Amino acid sequence: MDGYRVSDFLKNLSYMQGNGSPGGASGFDVDDFLQPEMDRSFALRRGAGNQGRIEEISRRLDEIAKEKKAIDTEKAMAEYKYLYDADPGAYMNLMHNRKTAEQTEQIRKGTEEATRQSNLQSAYKANNDGLLAARYSLADAENAYRQAIASGNPEAAEAAKVKMDRERAMYNKYAKENEILRNKVMQAFGLAQEAPAVAQEGASGAENASGEDIAHQEAMKGLKAYQDALGDIKVLSGRIKVDNMPKDKNLKAKQVKEWGDEIARLQQVVNGANVGAQQKSDAIAALDQLSGQLRNFSKPASKGGQVVKMTREDYQRQLDGMTTMMQLVKKPIKWLQAARAAGATHPKLEMAIERLAGKGAL
């Protein structure tokens, strides 16, 4: 090492890094490299045999780049001063600084990891709180929906369904985030990750949502049928009434039959309605009252039922059962006159009408 100076070391180190021409230090001569200004056609005329050489040069250049990147110039200079100038200060300072930097980096990474874990725990706790609140909100919305269905009000049921769907979507959002955060927390603390054995309460997939929608549609059809039945009961209650206007006997019989069938249909609708006990009880009571009105309407006029228009046969049948004048004059004169106008006959009919007319019974 006699006469070997620091400048010589730096020069050789520079050659090792690929700077300058070390006279073959790179493993190639200068002539081995193509000049940038070389005409491309000339390079082609050199023949395909140079292709292998070009590839070898390219591989060597890649190796040189890697070697250059791996060279620690600062450490090499510090080691040289330590070994050849007996000056350990540069080397010791370098090692101390690097160790300090490494420790600082480790502390920084540890702090960042601790902060990340803390933030992750906080996010998981906040999500758990939100999930719990969402579960209670969903339970309240489901209960409100059931009450709306029981009330028999389709509009209230539709509004309750919209709110229930909104609360379920919010719950599912929290549940999905909770599962993601749960896995991250377990991974951060090195805990085993296990898929939950039972699906999250309240979470509904596409199949469940589809089933709920179908059930809701069926429920809404039932509620609308129930509301229509209540309206029909009210209408019939106003129509099935006894009045003093005589009806055709056949028309009365037809109305009694049609109204009876309609009441039976309404009873089926009300009995099958998915409504509250009080709502169903009130509807059944209204139907019972309607059935009583129909029974009263169907009675003969003599017993308080609807008056019907009598035919000649009806008058004749009654007149045939009257054998005395006393029986005839017990009838109103208008009845006797109507019987005569209808064509009914009786030996004493005219006499009875004259006697009643003479008394002023008009």
| Of the candidate ranges 2-16, 176-190, 198-212, the one whose mean pLDDT is the lowest | 198-212
What mean pLDDT is predicted for residues 186-197? 64
Residue 337 maps to a domain: yes
Report residue 9's pLDDT band, with 50, 70 and 90 as the boundaries: low
Residues 288 and 330 occupy one common structural domain = no
Residues 239 and 298 occupy one common structural domain = yes
| HEC secondary structure over the chain | CCCCCHHHHHHHHHHHCCCCCCCCCCCCCHHHCCCCCCCHHHHHHCCHHHHHHHHHHHHHHHHHHHHHHHCCHHHHHHHHHHHHCCCHHHHHHHHHHHHHHHHHHHHHHHHHHHHHHHHHHHHHHHHHHHHHHHHHHHHHHHHHHHHHHHHCCHHHHHHHHHHHHHHHHHHHHHHHHHHHHHHHHHHHCCCCCCCCCCCCCCCCCHHHHHHHHHHHHHHHHHHHHHHHHHHHHHHHHHHCCCCCCCEEHHHHHHHHHHHHHHHHHHHHHHHHCCCCHHHHHHHHHHHHHHHHHHHHHHCCHHHCCCCEECCHHHHHHHHHCCCCHHHHHCCCHHHHHHHHHHCCCCCCHHHHHHHHHHCCCC
Total domains in the chain come to 3
Alpha-carbon distance of 117 to 357, in angstroms, equals 114
Residue 275 maps to a domain: yes
Cα separations in angstroms, 260 against 13, 239, 254, 273, 293: 115, 13, 10, 20, 11
Residue 118 maps to a domain: yes
Distance of CA 137 to the CA centre of its chain: 15
Those residues whose C-beta lies under 8 Å from the C-beta of residue 209, and which sit 6 or more positions away, are none
Residues 247 and 294 occupy one common structural domain = yes
- The whole-number pLDDT of residue 136 equals 93
Residue 34 maps to a domain: no
Report residue 97's pLDDT band, with 50, 70 and 90 as the boundaries: confident
Those residues whose C-beta lies under 8 Å from the C-beta of residue 134, and which sit 6 or more positions away, are 167, 170, 171, 173, 174
Instruction: Say if residue 15's pLDDT is above 80.
Output: no
Residues 234 and 296 occupy one common structural domain = yes
Structural domain including 317 reads 310-358
Residue 58 maps to a domain: no
Residues 281 and 324 occupy one common structural domain = no
Those residues whose C-beta lies under 8 Å from the C-beta of residue 14, and which sit 6 or more positions away, are 20
pLDDT in tens, 202-259: 444 444 566 678 888 888 888 899 999 999 999 999 999 988 888 888 888 999 999 9
Residue 267 maps to a domain: yes
Residues 281 and 240 occupy one common structural domain = yes
Residue 271 maps to a domain: yes
Residues 288 and 325 occupy one common structural domain = no
Residues 345 and 286 occupy one common structural domain = no
The answer to whether 215 touches 145, Cβ cutoff 8 Å, is no
**Which of residues 257, 275, 303 is at a domain's end?**
303
Residues 293 and 325 occupy one common structural domain = no
Alpha-carbon distance of 211 to 229, in angstroms, equals 27
Q: Which residue has the higher pLDDT, 250 or 201?
A: 250
Residues 118 and 168 occupy one common structural domain = yes
**Which of residues 140, 163, 191 is at a domain's end?**
191
**Which of residues 303, 323, 348 is at a domain's end?**
303
Residues 236 and 275 occupy one common structural domain = yes
The residues pairing with 247 across neighbouring beta strands, listed in sequence order, are: 308
- The whole-number pLDDT of residue 6 equals 60
pLDDT, mean over the chain: 80
pLDDT above 90 as % of the chain: 25
pLDDT in tens, 270-299: 998 888 889 999 999 999 999 999 999 998
- The whole-number pLDDT of residue 46 equals 55
Residue 83 maps to a domain: no
pLDDT in tens, 128-148: 999 999 999 999 999 999 999
